[in-house]
Structure 1
């Protein structure tokens, strides 16, 4: 392109490029970029001129060439598809009439900070440093699928909308980011896709607003994160998918609002997380799916949990904060899969690790009661007997209470009216206490029970004492057996 073909604004940029100087067309720093459609020729740049500048413009010895423009109106499509650009690009606070096409381009770094664009294609691009899209307003799709960014991707406070499309508004699938992905207070009206991507650093979406009601709002399935995935104070309308994600650090959903009424709000099945934080703020408006997920620390406040959960196969080492078993058990009772034995065993193990054996026993008792509901009528009946007598072996003092009560009833009854001996000349001296113990204890014999023959009502009482003694002995042995086998 000949220099004689340039407008005064373009000539100014052309001359500044070889020395990497900044050209600022803004009258003041507070100008609203959304008014760019009305900007005149004094700050209008043709995309074809910028392309020629980046691809073939001369450089000055001893200077570092770079495109640094603020507040320009860029007309036409900036098409650098599969191009190799060795110079940094900064087109900040600018208004684009057409979406930049940078598919497959090799770039050093690019900044479009606070610009207004009708779309952006950076799919499969290679960027040696960072991509800066903070404060941008994009009224179309942003595609970065398959891009490789050696630095960070910055989307802080960006607002992305794509009315009339069913495709993802922000497409970051299969992206490799060697540093951080930052999207604090990012606003996406539509689907945000991160599936299959790998971020070596952390992902920070604190305060983001993701809106796709009734549909997938954040698709982060099989995402790999080397650091933390921060979703503090996010507002998600739609469901969040984290199935198969691998997050080495913390998945922090503190103060997060996740809403997908009638279905799962968070689907994190089969994910691997260092720490999951579900704390503070209102409970999830929708279900929580953590099936087969594995994590070292599960930081969950009971108030944060929704009415519907899926916990089968969930594994964790530490459960915090420490809460009484009565506060944790409703979480297991809300499982939509019904009775899930593994969930009770995990909670029991968590209490035992911190030495809270009382809470562990309560969880095991709750497990037996929940299991009882799945049995046929005769199994439920026997379960009620074990529960009432010795609490399935987890409340052995109940057996002692029953024994003492029955011992008192029998002793008083037989003391008032002693049963006649079978052989008066051979019978030992009658002792109502030891006679009752002989009836109650099926293994121990004091020689009283075989020497006397109760009649009438006393005979029926003896039958009740013998039967009750066997039930107590059986349930105690069953409870001890379960305890020993667990240990």
Structure 2
């Protein structure tokens, strides 16, 4: 029985390196008498261009460990499923492909040839899952070109080796997107590009994942505007570039697992939202990332982090985040000259309104300075008493507190007075006035900070 008849009968045929014409595969695939199991072929050398574009056949196509010198064309084809695992070819073009079930391209070796991409799945619709596990893809611009790809289930990029961008802009993934162990490098573009991507479950860029770009303007991992139904997992991954991660306006439906050493470069986290407190990084590490490794100041990452700790009941950490935000605003934010001055004052005195107890310390220091001024500088010789005898130390302290304490007067009888006929006495009086003004200011700042009047959410 000939090879073609065996294929029509649905047998799994191993050609052991023998040649088969590409036109024969096309003719068999559209033959009315083809077995429902479809074409199943292993280790064949396909001669000629395998052009299956625009074919409509509700049969599977299985070409395992096959080789061809021409790109495989599946543009606009409509099939049951396709398995090209182990294929060695220049490229696979499958834009607008329609599959009822899965597309398997595991361990393929595609060098791209003269095409800009090694695999083109632009606007393809795959009913179940897509697997590029262990594939080696080389493209002039794109290793995988799959904008607006649709899958009903998971996408596996596990252990992928890609030279060129993996592009999934606008893709809709019906399950997990798994990139564990993948290595992707792009010289001119983002390495992993998934702007406005939707993943129904989790995005795994972890366990040895490494995306690297030589571009200075685009991130190694750029998934801004993406929506994830589950977790964003970067545990054990790496993103390397002048800009390492662009997660702007990305929304994760669950927590993020994100150690700060994942990013070897700057990050953009403005608009990133998630559930719970970020895992795999301590709060100081996360605050250092926001303050020193983001591209510019943005309030939203701080506010969202504070809200996450607020929901977890970590009030102390909430204050730490708020203070760190205000310090970053002062350092990199847009403030007027007076706004910057006020920011410095409130930061030094009440911790931007989140640590009002600092103002009490300043108030205590002011009162201490007043006591030292009266007791040590003016001394008994610089004071006069209504009755005979020198002023006692207790009376001197009472005089100092009377002069500097706002509202409350510990010594209402004023038994001692500063002698103002001498230059020293005049200096002491004027200085106590200044200390009283400072005491008023620190008391006011404490009240304002305690009641939240000086807190900012800019």
TM-score calculated relative to the size of structure 2: 0.83
Structure 1 residues 349 and 404, CA, compared in 2 at 3 Å: closer, same or farther?
Answer: farther
Structure 1 residues 258 and 444, CA, compared in 2 at 3 Å: closer, same or farther?
Answer: same
Distance 1:175 1:124 in 2: 9
Could you list the per-position Cα deviations for residues 37-67 of structure 1 after superposition, in whole angstroms to 9, with x for gaps in the alignment? xx5xxx21111112111112535xxx64521
- Asked if structure 1 preserves the Cα contact closer than 8 Å seen for 2:174 and 2:199, the reply is yes
Residue 76 of structure 2 corresponds to residue 86 of structure 1: no
Offset of residue 245 of structure 1: 1.0
Distance 2:244 2:303 in 1: 26
Residue 89 of structure 2 corresponds to residue 117 of structure 1: yes
Residue 86 of structure 2 corresponds to residue 127 of structure 1: no
Equivalence map 1:277-296=2 (5 Å) = 277-279=257-259, 282-296=261-275
Structure 1 residues 486 and 15, CA, compared in 2 at 3 Å: closer, same or farther?
Answer: same
- Asked if structure 1 preserves the Cα contact closer than 8 Å seen for 2:371 and 2:401, the reply is no
RMSD across aligned positions (CA)? 3.2
Equivalent of 1:249 in 230, 236, 248: 230
Moved more, 148-157 or 285-294: 285-294
Equivalent of 2:20 in 45, 51, 54: 45
- Asked if structure 2 preserves the Cα contact closer than 8 Å seen for 1:266 and 1:289, the reply is yes
1:444 matched to which residue of 2? 408
Offset of residue 159 of structure 1: 0.9
Structure 1 residues 404 and 354, CA, compared in 2 at 3 Å: closer, same or farther?
Answer: farther
Residue 385 of structure 2 corresponds to residue 405 of structure 1: no
Offset of residue 187 of structure 1: 1.4
1:272 matched to which residue of 2? 251
Distance 1:105 1:157 in 2: 25
Distance 1:337 1:65 in 2: 54
Secondary structure of 2:185's aligned partner: strand
Offset of residue 345 of structure 1: 3.6
Equivalence map 1:316-395=2 (5 Å) = 318-320=277-279, 323=282, 326-334=284-292, 339-372=297-330, 387-388=347-348, 391-392=351-352, 394=355, 395=357
Equivalence map 1:109-258=2 (5 Å) = 109-140=81-112, 141-162=118-139, 165-166=140-141, 168-232=142-206, 233-238=208-213, 239-258=220-239
Offset of residue 387 of structure 1: 4.9
Distance 2:271 2:83 in 1: 41
Structure 1 residues 183 and 290, CA, compared in 2 at 3 Å: closer, same or farther?
Answer: same
Could you list the per-position Cα deviations for residues 133-160 of structure 1 after superposition, in whole angstroms to 9, with x for gaps in the alignment? 1011112232111111111111111111
Residue 66 of structure 2 corresponds to residue 58 of structure 1: no
Structure 2 residue runs of 5 or longer lacking an equivalent are 113-117, 214-219
1:35 matched to which residue of 2? none
Could you list the per-position Cα deviations for residues 398-423 of structure 1 after superposition, in whole angstroms to 9, with x for gaps in the alignment? 146425523642563466346336x8
2:217 matched to which residue of 1? none
Moved more, 151-160 or 376-385: 376-385
TM-score calculated relative to the size of structure 1: 0.78
Distance 1:123 1:378 in 2: 58
Distance 2:58 2:349 in 1: 81
1:31 matched to which residue of 2? none
Offset of residue 256 of structure 1: 1.2
Secondary structure of 1:191's aligned partner: strand
Structure 1 residues 79 and 471, CA, compared in 2 at 3 Å: closer, same or farther?
Answer: same
The higher relative CO (CA closer than 8 Å, separation ≥ 6) is in: 2
Secondary structure of 1:86's aligned partner: strand
Equivalent of 1:467 in 410, 413, 437: 437
